Amino acid sequence: MCGIAGWIDGERYLPDQQTALDAMSKTLQRRGPDDHGQYTEDHVCLLHRRLAVVDPANGHQPMIAQAGGETYALVYNGELYNTEELRRELESLGCEFHTHSDTEVLLNAYIMWEDACLSKLNGIFAFAVWQKNNRRLFAARDCMGVKPFYYYDYPEGLVFGSEIKALLASPVVEPEIDENGLNQLFLLGPGAIPGKAIFRGMKELAPGYSLTYTVEGGVKLHRWWKLTAKEHTEDEKTSIAHVRELLTDSIRRQLVSDVPLCTLLSGGLDSSIISAVAAEEYRKQGRQLTTYSVDYIDNAKYFQRNLFQPAPDSEYVGEMVDAIGSHHRNIILDNAAQADALLDAVRARDYPGMADIDSSLLLFCRAIKKDFTVGLSGECADELEHAWLQPIQR
């Protein structure tokens, strides 16, 4: 993942605010340890922290381009899974490319189609584009809200960032929690209302939404994607083939990486399917997939079978490793380390979350990061699959 942030102020001269800008950028350093950049005008600044996954030598951000007498500056956090298809389409329309990063593809897509480019993107993203001459900021978030985007608008300007802490580093944002924020913390936590944030005046760009901002007109929101219900007309055989095609295609597209990639394997349906497809793709390339699982000291000693978890994850993990032939690593955590990591987990999330679940995930990812930059994981998708399968099993 990467980190983005920005500040637009119609009155403040932002080159004089470098200390605050550095503080905003520093809050995102963990999201992007490989590179950082800044684009600054008198009243506008865009910040970026990069975790290099595709084309590490290029793709520096903010990425700047000139076209049609306009200057475009882009900051982007995410990954496009249809990069090559978009690149070919844009090349047919006269675009030239100097890198193979999806950042350059996204920037050219916006220059070519502006806001309408969103309908062409297959991926996860949060990005912002500043148009220097038009004095206009356009920002968007992917349809499922995988990549975060928070913003704070006030009479003179706008501050935005990938994390709440980036906004709090700006001198115009006060760290005050209002009644709505308290209600979310105590009544909905660890969830939150889409489009809301717990701090006074701060908002989240909801999944499937975009925004435009000008100093004169302020923030205008637009819902660019909405889930729609349609009648299912396929028979069982066609449905199975269709779901298999969609699922395997989505996994294959996410295997594109110029840095080491692994999968997280718990033995559940979602992680097992992801790992099986990834392992098969790697075999075709003469490579072996590395998988990771997590366990806890004395878990085998104290584990008790129940309806929710009839067997330890390790049993299913072992079966899957044997079946797909992965190189497997098991990370063992202890309770003391999980307790010590609770505060770091809250800081990473920016507000209270799921206690030891968050801290164990943080420790697990730290261990994986020693050797791998990218890890594919199914986050509780098997819970959804289980809910759908229950009526069929009855």
Residues serving a catalytic function are 2
Q: Cis link prior to 207 (omega < 30° from 0)?
A: no
Query: Distance (Å, rounded) from C-alpha 220 to C-alpha 136?
Result: 11
Query: Distance (Å, rounded) from C-alpha 77 to C-alpha 60?
Result: 12
Reading phi first (left if > 0) and then psi (alpha if -120 to 50, else beta), residue 189 is in: beta
- Contact call for residues 136 and 185 (beta carbons, < 8 A): no
Amino acid identity, position 185: L
Query: Distance (Å, rounded) from C-alpha 201 to C-alpha 211?
Result: 16
Amino acid identity, position 7: W
Q: Among 145, 152, 150, 151, which residue's Cα sits nearest to residue 224?
A: 145
Compute the C-alpha angle 264/266/267, nearest 5°: 125
